[in-house]
């Protein structure tokens, strides 16, 4: 008896039934019982002579959405925020260690473009040693999301477009099996606690307007829906949304009027909702450190850009119709990172340079009653 795989059907976790198969309902239930909405492939294996189905294999492909518990000790959480560190991770190692030794960090948020210039090719990519050597020394959890470079975005260098080769974003999610500090359960995921809910969003599909999966991603609409659902059911005193792409920024991307910026600004009604909105939106993408928002913190969210992990771009004055820049005052970029301290009453943001010295802050948000 011979057998073969004659088709595989990719099913999205939308609660829909595959019109061609009664097996889709079971597949989706299987994924949901695990608490993870995945891209599911069904492989139908059957006898080529009489057509009898021998087996149905569920192949769980890209991990799209997840929720995880966020460990919080004594209603306090201290987070180090760093982004766009994919070129020279060693640039900030001394500063991070200094800050951690003075006042221990609970976790790192790595906000995309984790590997330059073209992401990684797989689990055996030698670039992984940069993560383990430079971020692993803090011995705290590292919560990561993808950036556009992790997807293998084409590069422009000296007016020449450099196209990336094979890129495997999914490999970044799988590294946790070998490096336990690396916490990356899905492309988009929520970290939940009574103190703070942190919603980590894969913004590449949103900014680029993906209407179909790309390199294992969900679509832009699916990511927006996940964000909406997580904000609506949030139980945390504080709500933080983390993405790679900017919404407001004095850097290159924030000042560029293109579809990526308009697609990201379409998130503002969700983020600014009085009942379900966020207190803070964190991103990278622009290579600088900046805090944007209402000076009296009556209007939320504030916008924190921490993309100065390995390179710097020019900052310029933005439109007066946009929220004000609270930091830096001179729009002079420097390599560094941000640290957020959260308790039940206040959330503070402090900026550090690459050597671990304070360059700005603390800037304080007071808990608001929803």
Q: pLDDT (tens digit, 9 = 90+) per residue, 313-370? A: 899 999 999 999 999 998 889 999 999 999 999 999 999 999 999 999 999 999 988 7
pLDDT tens digits for range 309-319:
988 989 999 99
- Dihedral of CA atoms 348, 198, 122, 169 in degrees, nearest 10, equals -110
- Whole-angstrom Cα distance, residue 193 to residue 57? 36
Domain residue ranges of the chain, discontinuous segments joined by +? 3-64, 70-366
- Tens-of-pLDDT digits for all 370 residues of the chain? 333 322 333 343 333 333 333 333 333 333 332 333 444 444 444 444 555 554 544 444 568 999 999 999 889 999 999 999 988 667 789 999 999 999 999 999 999 999 988 899 899 999 898 888 888 889 999 999 999 999 987 666 556 676 787 889 999 998 877 889 999 999 999 999 999 999 999 999 999 999 999 888 999 999 999 999 999 999 999 999 999 999 999 998 888 888 989 999 999 999 999 999 999 999 999 999 999 999 888 889 999 999 999 889 899 999 999 999 999 998 889 999 999 999 999 999 999 999 999 999 999 999 988 7
Cβ neighbourhood burial of 341 (10 Å; 0-12, 13-18, 19+)? middle
CATH superfamily of 70-366: Metallo-dependent phosphatases (3.60.21.10)
Q: What is the pTM of this model?
A: 0.84
φ/ψ (deg, to 5) at 177: -65, -30
């Amino acid at each position: 008896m011979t057998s073969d795989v004659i088709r595989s059907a990719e099913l999205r976790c939308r609660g829909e039934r595959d019109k061609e198969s009664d097996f889709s309902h079971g597949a989706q239930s299987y994924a949901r019982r695990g608490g993870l909405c995945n891209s599911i492939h069904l492989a139908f294996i059957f006898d080529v002579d009489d057509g009898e189905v021998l087996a149905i294999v569920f192949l769980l492909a890209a991990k799209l959405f997840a929720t995880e518990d966020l460990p919080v000790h004594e209603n306090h959480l201290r987070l180090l925020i760093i982004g766009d560190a994919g070129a020279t991770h060693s640039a900030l190692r001394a500063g991070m260690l200094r800050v951690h030794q003075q006042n221990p960090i609970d976790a790192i948020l790595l906000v995309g473009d984790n590997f330059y210039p073209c992401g990684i090719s797989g689990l055996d990519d030698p670039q992984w040693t940069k993560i383990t050597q430079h971020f692993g020394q803090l011995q705290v959890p590292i919560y990561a999301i993808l950036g556009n470079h992790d997807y293998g975005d084409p590069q422009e260098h000296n007016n020449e477009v450099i196209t990336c080769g094979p890129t495997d974003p999914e490999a970044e999610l799988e590294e946790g099996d070998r490096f336990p500090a690396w916490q990356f359960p899905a492309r988009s995921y929520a970290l939940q606690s009574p103190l703070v809910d942190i919603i980590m969003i894969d913004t590449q599909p949103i900014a680029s307007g993906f209407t179909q999966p790309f390199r294992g991603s969900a679509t832009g609409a699916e990511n927006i829906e996940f964000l909406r659902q997580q904000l609506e059911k949030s139980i945390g005193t504080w709500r933080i949304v983390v993405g790679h792409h900017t919404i407001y920024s004095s850097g290159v991307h924030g000042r560029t009027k293109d579809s990526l910026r308009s697609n990201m600004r379409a998130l503002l009604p969700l983020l600014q909702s009085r009942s379900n909105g966020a207190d803070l939106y964190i991103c990278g993408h622009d290579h600088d450190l900046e805090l944007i928002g209402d000076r009296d913190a009556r209007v939320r969210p504030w916008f924190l850009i921490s993309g100065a992990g390995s390179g710097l771009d020019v900052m310029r004055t933005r439109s007066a119709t946009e929220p004000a820049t609270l930091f830096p005052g001179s729009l002079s970029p420097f390599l560094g990172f941000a640290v957020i301290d959260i308790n039940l009453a206040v959330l503070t943001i402090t900026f550090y340079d690459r050597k671990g010295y304070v360059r700005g802050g603390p800037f304080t948000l007071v808990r608001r009653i929803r």
